[in-house]
Structure 1
């Protein structure tokens, strides 16, 4: 495997460069490579300062999702960050694109942080049922205080560079186009005494702020009383002002492992993976890109598509033409005679939608009662035609789930409405039947639609995930 972390000296500055496309995720190879490159930099007598940067479109965008659910492999991230922070040479982190989750925690372990314009930072672990477990709950409060740290960590919000600078998360914004130039400039200024490097972990513990803790606890009690990890985040941040960094990191680790053991973590990660590529028809190659689509009739979706068509290379017309490849037809518009070889997509609302096979259409785009996610159902179209249509809609910024023969969303909507006092259980029962009938390509697509459109609790993973989990638990305890 080619190395994904490199070391090279530029005059008297050593540069550690991460090259792990597409988002420089913190997989095992990157973690190991960081320590090896750090050792080289510290042993390099010609290097008076070090710069940590990343190639490509972003700094470190977080953990490697391929390692989710796997046993941890040494070195674990907290150990890597502790080694970075202990560097005896000034260590500058250069942020661009995004620095998220473990990526921001790595930057917090460096001695100086400079960001390029447009950079966003954040600790979104709470959205996956976790907390920042590599020092984020201890180092961030030392920079921004307990109140601001709680606001950022319990929400998982992304922060633009300007706000990050005002809060104290980063030390400077550099308009230099290249991360390398920004890092070298900052390192030279530090060596010249024009900027000050500091170890975040050696800063004084933040002042205790019981009022902020009480306010955020009350907010969480109102907004998300059923969730586990936000309250563990609150406990971890509170610990940052109660003891030494070492004790705070120990408490953070305990709370992180408690989150790891929580069923909510598994459900939220299942929902995360369900949303990764719901527009993909399995085992289908990308066919020729659609370039001409006719929008027939009037529908709010059409205006959104036209507004997003700019740089897609897709021409949208109001009438079928000889070059039209797909006709997208509003619910109240009569189905026209489209050119030969042109696929027809009929829009239908999830409410009241009957059997789709009765429609004179190759595909049906089922629109939700709320939310933005739609369902593209293949009735007569083959897999290649469905994939081409789904990819075109994605290019036009319309998120879709693909399915076949009949609508998952309409069936879930009917089930939920038929049992208003027990909507979740009704969707769970319906999900098992939908999967059995083969309407979904992936059972996770049922979960995604229920969570994003029908309000099924995200931390439960989705109705099919929950129903099969319950069935498995029942079978294990049955005599």
Structure 2
């Protein structure tokens, strides 16, 4: 079961268990409704607590359901049930409460969070808006101006700011969500803490200045995007609607418009592309190297050093008997003196693409902006490339694995050669050619590299996806 109910004394506890991040899939949604009914029917339970197992509260919707026919109960209906609970309903938050997770918390009557909890409504990053009351309940708690800033940016809010803003009611020093939730429930029952039913709070005061300022900012920064402007409309509806229910209906209309937008599909394509670009196909049971030598000097090495201790990886400046992997700076001697896998570190715009094939079985190409890197397998065993990629990822480097030839270098060259107005189409043509030649393990890796390293418009989903869509449209 994804959700179960259990009573602790006179407090009923609704516990979500849907690892790894307690996403709000259909089983969780229906489980919440059933557990809530059980808690309401439990005459010995004077208050109810909603919490989650594992390292986080609900980290959002189940993105695998996007684009598929909706399955009842829909999240807005679940939250309506929560908010209508006749008993005090406390949300005990920890880790992150994001997207639908925060909307569930806003539907509860009191919110307590463990220290270090972060909350947010980041749907805009997927071309969406909060579709289960976030644009209607959050402004009632924090004002139009703050809700606009939070939701159009999609940023995460630390617990201290969430408390100051009124999103949560208290921060607990308890060690577990259960301890925090039970203690908060007892305080509510004792009358020392007062629950608030968010949907019954008055609509926020109109703030035409904040609306105008936000629209000006969006028109300057991202005029081509669809969902941020719909977010503004939804928050304006929170002010203008005659009731919460009317505002929720308008929010739903705008949410469905975003769901139908090509931008939503492009952004979700990139979301999935970013989940596993470091995985080499058909390699199983690989593990990171634990002893790595960083030979020579490079700014990247400082970043890796900072992450090494937490990752449990030992870094040295010279190879020794324990060394399992060597990473060579661009000007370091190519002979490491150690019979272990060697990665040659190279930079975009320096040297030729053939350098990596001459000097090492693996080459690491760093994007100019440092946001992402490409680990190319020139002649190594797939298992070695996978272990090296896992090592670099453990050291907090965003890695895309590839083979034979650098996709980053080819993209950089295409951009340098094309006029500014034609760079986007140059990347699209190049990505199709590189995919045909088999340099990428997954076509989505081309999209991820182009967006993260070269600023290809994120909402289009990447050059290969865009080129494929254009070809498909021509064939129709």
**1:56-75 matches, cutoff 5 A:** 56-75=54-73
Question: How far apart in 2 are the matches of 1:132 and 1:337?
Answer: 53
Question: How far apart in 2 are the matches of 1:446 and 1:268?
Answer: 14
Instruction: Find the residue that maps to 2:240 and give its secondary structure.
Output: coil
Alignment correspondent of 2:412:
413
Alignment correspondent of 1:446:
446
Question: How far apart in 2 are the matches of 1:338 and 1:128?
Answer: 48
Give 1:398 deviation, angstroms: 1.4
Q: What is the RMSD computed on CA atoms of the aligned residues?
A: 1.2
Instruction: Find the residue that maps to 1:241 and give its secondary structure.
Output: helix
Question: How far apart in 1 are the matches of 2:365 and 2:206?
Answer: 52
Name structure 1 gaps, 5 residues minimum: none
Alignment correspondent of 1:313:
312
Instruction: Find the residue that maps to 1:310 and give its secondary structure.
Output: helix
Alignment correspondent of 2:275:
276
Give 1:356 deviation, angstroms: 4.9
Alignment correspondent of 2:5:
7
Alignment correspondent of 2:110:
112
Contact 1:327 1:338 in 2 (8 A): no
Give deviations 1:84-108, integer Å, cap 9, x for gaps: 0011111000111000000000000
Contact 1:105 1:136 in 2 (8 A): yes
Instruction: Find the residue that maps to 1:293 and give its secondary structure.
Output: strand
Question: How far apart in 2 are the matches of 1:167 and 1:314?
Answer: 40
Instruction: Find the residue that maps to 1:240 and give its secondary structure.
Output: helix
Which runs of at least 4 in structure 1 moved beyond 6 Å after TM superposition? none
Alignment correspondent of 1:379:
378
Question: How far apart in 2 are the matches of 1:238 and 1:311?
Answer: 45
Alignment correspondent of 2:326:
327
Give 1:66 deviation, angstroms: 2.2
With over 3 angstroms needed to count, the CA separation of the structure-2 counterparts of 1:328 and 1:49, relative to structure 1, is same
316-325 vs 259-268, which moves further: 316-325
With structure 1 as the length reference, what TM-score do the two structures score?
0.97
With over 3 angstroms needed to count, the CA separation of the structure-2 counterparts of 1:37 and 1:381, relative to structure 1, is same
Instruction: Find the residue that maps to 2:31 and give its secondary structure.
Output: helix
Alignment correspondent of 2:15:
17
Question: How far apart in 2 are the matches of 1:60 and 1:6?
Answer: 15
Give deviations 1:102-154, integer Å, cap 9, x for gaps: 00000000011111110000000000000000000000011111101001000
Question: How far apart in 2 are the matches of 1:111 and 1:119?
Answer: 18
Contact 1:125 1:156 in 2 (8 A): yes
Alignment correspondent of 2:426:
426
Question: How far apart in 2 are the matches of 1:167 and 1:318?
Answer: 48
Contact 1:356 1:406 in 2 (8 A): no
Alignment correspondent of 2:338:
339
Name structure 2 gaps, 5 residues minimum: none
Corresponding pairs, count: 473
Question: How far apart in 2 are the matches of 1:346 and 1:460?
Answer: 33
Alignment correspondent of 2:42:
44
Contact 1:286 1:387 in 2 (8 A): no
Give 1:472 deviation, angstroms: 0.6
**1:63-212 matches, cutoff 5 A:** 63-212=61-210
Give 1:156 deviation, angstroms: 0.2
Contact 2:287 2:390 in 1 (8 A): no
Instruction: Find the residue that maps to 1:8 and give its secondary structure.
Output: strand
Alignment correspondent of 1:231:
229
Instruction: Find the residue that maps to 1:207 and give its secondary structure.
Output: coil
Give 1:70 deviation, angstroms: 1.8
Question: How far apart in 2 are the matches of 1:78 and 1:291?
Answer: 47
Question: How far apart in 1 are the matches of 2:329 and 2:430?
Answer: 28
Alignment correspondent of 2:248:
249
Contact 2:118 2:156 in 1 (8 A): yes
307-316 vs 386-395, which moves further: 307-316
Question: How far apart in 2 are the matches of 1:357 and 1:293?
Answer: 20
Contact 2:108 2:197 in 1 (8 A): yes
Give 1:337 deviation, angstroms: 4.6
Question: How far apart in 1 are the matches of 2:370 and 2:302?
Answer: 17
Contact 1:356 1:405 in 2 (8 A): no
Question: How far apart in 2 are the matches of 1:157 and 1:357?
Answer: 39
Instruction: Find the residue that maps to 1:211 and give its secondary structure.
Output: helix
Give 1:288 deviation, angstroms: 4.6
Contact 1:356 1:407 in 2 (8 A): no
Question: How far apart in 1 are the matches of 2:315 and 2:81?
Answer: 55
Question: How far apart in 2 are the matches of 1:393 and 1:289?
Answer: 8
Contact 2:353 2:406 in 1 (8 A): no
Question: How far apart in 2 are the matches of 1:113 and 1:189?
Answer: 12
Question: How far apart in 1 are the matches of 2:202 and 2:357?
Answer: 70
> Is 1:463 matched with 2:469?
no
Alignment correspondent of 2:212:
214
Alignment correspondent of 2:472:
472
